[in-house]
Structure 1
Amino acid sequence: MASDRTELRILVTGGSGLVGRAIERLVKGGERRDGEEWTFLSSKDADLTNVDETRAVFKRYRPTHVIHLAAMVGGLFRNMKYNLDFWRLNIHINDNVLQMAHEHAVAKVISCLSTCIFPDQTTYPIDESMIHNGPPHSSNFGYSYAKRMIDIQNRAYHQQHGSRFSAVIPTNVFGMDDNFNIEEGHVLPGLIHKTYLAKMNGTPLVVWGSGKPRRQFIYSLDLARLFIWVLREYEEIEPIILSVGEEEEVSIKEAAESIVSAMGFEGEVIFDTSKSDGQYKKTASNGKLRKYLPHFQFTPFNQAIKETCDWFVANYKVARK
């Protein structure tokens, strides 16, 4: 996009979250192009479950493009406890953002989905054509169905109004600025916080579950780079999976070992098998992404873990936890 073209006003909802912060780091670090104006919106700026507040945001910033990250999110155990809340709040947020984008003639919206939207009973690797082939895992069906509906709405807006609303499907994201809450956060930030406390207190590190489930983890800075590419270059309405390759999948046990090494923890590691493992695997194909970006370089997992752990230790007092 050359600087002599129409100015792009890019609104990022959920701008204070893990992915929003990563995008902001890149934009402030030199990724912003001439003619682009970026606004990072947080939950403190507006309640996106409220249509009037959402309308006011769009009226104020007049975005031409939207990266929609805002959502009620949480780890396995919070999802299991609050499936109704995850459904209702996310449905309200998504409907308000997409409808206001339509009403304000936004040129392009890129929403963020999750691999948990895929059917629980399926063949692997999963790809973009399989989203609606069966019910998602029962542990987080509220969140999963709410996210699936973004894809339905995108198709409907395109069919009825010609809107260019699309979505990306990242695998498990982690990195700096994550939510490191042990009870309600995702697995990696929770383990990082646990390891920090275990090292500080001289106690064993207790990992919930057997450690056997496998995941593809993507570093937030890598995902941010891909998000910016999607916003600028990706023209399909169909979603695209943003993920490391299948060969980069690691077990929770291997992830815990990487964190233990990065944190210099030398104590005992215990796997509490009385806790649920959740879905055993969600192996996703990044074949579609590779057709577009065959040479994209992902940050090696252990390096990304080390950078995240170092950031958490250095920012312990201010990190979300």
Structure 2
Amino acid sequence: MSDERRVVLVTGGSGLVGQAIRIIIEEEKSLNNDSVKNESWIFCGSKDGDLRDKAQTEALFERHRPTHVIHLAAMVGGLFHNMAHNLDFFRENMAINDNVLSASHKNKVTKVVSCLSTCIFPDKTTYPIDETMVHNGPPHTSNFGYSYAKRMIDVLNRGYHESHGCTFTSVIPCNVFGPHDNFDLQSSHVIPALIRRMDDAMHNGDKTFTVMGSGKPLRQFIYSLDLARLFIWVLRNYDSVEPIILSVDEADEVTISTVAEMIKKAHGFPGDIVYDTTKADGQYKKTASNAKLRSLYKDFKFTPFETAIHDTVAWFKQNREHART
């Protein structure tokens, strides 16, 4: 990074990953890290402007004049919420992404790092998936709206680079979880939903706990604080417009039933876990390769999964009253 002052605007700054980035930046400041000394960080949430609206997006950029942007804002939801609202997910996310990148170009932003998702990859594919395979076929039908909208960020990035020389890039994280997650049962992802529902079960004195589906699907999960460190590294060090997967190693893939058992252990839930196999499983696996990340950042150490689950459950118990539920 150069010596010039950087103003980093984080969209979706009040969400799971935005909060994690804020925590890591505060940690760097407290340690007097040289990298953060010439940076000002601004975390914006939906209350600061509706990014679906072009005028509000441009007003936000004119107000803060960012030199760099981490674009996290999105309309998001879990499997069942996605399945019911594909059109909304497509249109709203397309609007958000187009407005943010347009405003970034208009304001001569040096670099934009946008957040994609492993759900963008083709449903019918070979594993592990890597960065070259994003556009190789249709995504899974369950959340095609969200998936295609996220894919289009990559198309926009390439277009802005080709037409204007912009360094707009994207990262593709595997499933993210951690403190400040969305624990709302209508729209949350699998880990926060299990944490919230198991907490409810303990309050109710339930003897069993039901997991939707067979528990057999495999997933890679990344702790939000690990992802935050990697996002900051990408902002400072990665200058290609080609996407980069930010994921734990392939060997760290776990079944949903393993996740449920670890959450049970973290909660101290005394009952049995049962599986409702009448409910949809979604994709069986989405194994992603982090070979590109490992080639560029060899010594990055991920938080052990069980530790991260324990810390997330502990955070939820302490913050249940004002967590997103």
CA RMSD between the two structures:
0.8
Counterpart for residue 32 of structure 2: none
Q: 1:214 aligns with which of 218, 228, 234?
A: 218
SS of residue matched to 2:183: coil
| Cα gap change, 1:270 to 1:183, in 2 (>3 Å) | farther
* CA positional deviation for 1:268: 2.1
Pairing 1:9–2:12 present: no
Counterpart for residue 179 of structure 1: 182
Which runs of structure 2 are paired with 1:233-248 in the superposition (5 Å)? 233-248=237-252
Q: 2: distance between equivalents of 1:157 and 1:290? A: 27
Which runs of structure 2 are paired with 1:295-306 in the superposition (5 Å)? 295-306=299-310
Q: 1: distance between equivalents of 2:165 and 2:187? A: 39
Q: 2: distance between equivalents of 1:107 and 1:170? A: 22
* CA positional deviation for 1:202: 1.2
Instruction: Assess if the C-alpha contact under 8 Å between 1:102 and 1:163 holds in 2.
Output: yes
Counterpart for residue 251 of structure 1: 255
* CA positional deviation for 1:318: 0.6
Counterpart for residue 270 of structure 2: 266
Q: 2: distance between equivalents of 1:23 and 1:294? A: 21
Q: For 1:63-85, what per-residue CA distance to the aligned partner results, in whole angstroms no more than 9, with x for missing partners?
A: 00000000000000000000000
Pairing 1:109–2:107 present: no
SS of residue matched to 1:105: coil
Gaps of 5+ in 2: 30-34
Instruction: Assess if the C-alpha contact under 8 Å between 1:202 and 1:267 holds in 2.
Output: no
Counterpart for residue 147 of structure 1: 150
* CA positional deviation for 1:199: 1.1
Q: For 1:198-227, what per-residue CA distance to the aligned partner results, in whole angstroms no more than 9, with x for missing partners?
A: 111111211111000000000000000000
Q: 2:22 aligns with which of 19, 24, 46?
A: 24
**Which residue identity lines up with residue 57 of structure 1 in the other structure?**
L
Q: 2: distance between equivalents of 1:140 and 1:125? A: 20
SS of residue matched to 2:210: strand
TM-score w.r.t. the length of structure 1 is: 0.98
Q: 2: distance between equivalents of 1:205 and 1:158? A: 50
* CA positional deviation for 1:183: 2.4
**Which residue identity lines up with residue 122 of structure 1 in the other structure?**
T
Q: 1: distance between equivalents of 2:68 and 2:205? A: 49
Pairing 1:224–2:228 present: yes
Gaps of 5+ in 1: none
Q: For 1:100-123, what per-residue CA distance to the aligned partner results, in whole angstroms no more than 9, with x for missing partners?
A: 000000000000000000000000
Q: 2: distance between equivalents of 1:46 and 1:273? A: 42
Q: 1: distance between equivalents of 2:39 and 2:5? A: 6
**Which residue identity lines up with residue 37 of structure 1 in the other structure?**
S
Which runs of structure 2 are paired with 1:37-76 in the superposition (5 Å)? 37-76=40-79
SS of residue matched to 2:36: coil
